[in-house]
Amino acid sequence: MIRKDMSPPPVKKPRRGRPPGVPEASQSRRNLIRAGLEHLTEKGYSSVGVDEILKTAKVPKGSFYHHFRNKADFGLALIAAYDTYFAGLLDQAFLDEDRSPLERLGLFTMMAEEGMARHGFRRGCLVGNLGQEMGALPDDFRGALMDVLETWQKRTAQLFRDAQARGELSGAHDPDALAEVFWIGWEGAILRAKLELRPDPLRRFTKTFVRLFETQTPK
């Protein structure tokens, strides 16, 4: 089952030493990624230093530079890790064939809300957070973030095509354009929920967006 928060699955700790079968280098990288996701989804890239990440991860500075060339390289690794997590979250909701496409969309928004609620709505979307800081970030972050958003949009566009095939969504809509609009609005709702520390913006956006599904394909 895919976890609903952004943290990698917990590793069962033995009484002494590292988990059996997990190389020390791999475990330290895992700890750094986990700590980085926690800090950057809450505070952003520019506000968090490497030393703060190391303290949370309980990893020496030498290990950090063994895995990553610099903070920018670390940031790109975090984008990739977050994309892997989030793609799994989308697939869990969007590929649930026991639900209609509209219900799948609602399942995703509910799971996302629950994920934010677990952290008091203080953590947002890593991609959205970094997008807000893009003016102060390395140029190659732009391409990485756009690639992630495009993969999310493709999954969402396919969901909308499924909705059209079932008569839940009017064929007048362009699924690709509608998916782009969804993510533009959803990232804004995430930002507003983080600002207000409550789920209301997510719920208002979802309620407004799903009204599009009320217009059935003409028979």
| Alpha-carbon span 194 to 182, nearest angstrom | 18
Q: How confident is the model at residue 216, as a pLDDT?
A: 54
Q: How confident is the model at residue 26, as a pLDDT?
A: 87
Distances (CA, A) of 131 to 98, 126, 143, 171, 187: 35, 8, 11, 32, 10
Residues 16-26 have pLDDT tens digits of: 344 444 455 68
Environment class of residue 64 by beta-carbon count within 10 Å: exposed (0-12), middle (13-18) or buried (19+)? buried
Highest mean predicted confidence (pLDDT) among 20-29, 118-127, 209-218: 118-127
Helix axes 140-165, 71-94, angle to 10 degrees: 0
Torsion of CA 95, 203, 39, 120, to 10 degrees: -120
Q: How confident is the model at residue 31, as a pLDDT?
A: 96
Domains of the chain listed by start with CATH number = 76-214 (1.10.357.10)
Q: How confident is the model at residue 213, as a pLDDT?
A: 81
| Alpha-carbon span 194 to 42, nearest angstrom | 9
Q: Spell out the SS3 assignment of the chain.
A: CCCCCCCCCCCCCCCCCCCCCCCHHHHHHHHHHHHHHHHHHHHCCCCCCHHHHHHHHCCCHHHHHHHCCCHHHHHHHHHHHHHHHHHHHHHHHHCCCCCCHHHHHHHHHHHHHHHHHCCCCCCCCHHHHHHHCHHHCCCHHHHHHHHHHHHHHHHHHHHHHHHHHCCCCCCCCCHHHHHHHHHHHHHHHHHHHHHHCCCHHHHHHHHHHHHHHHCCCCC
With a cut of 70, say whether residue 90 has pLDDT above it: yes
Banded model confidence at residue 12, pLDDT cuts 50, 70, 90: very low
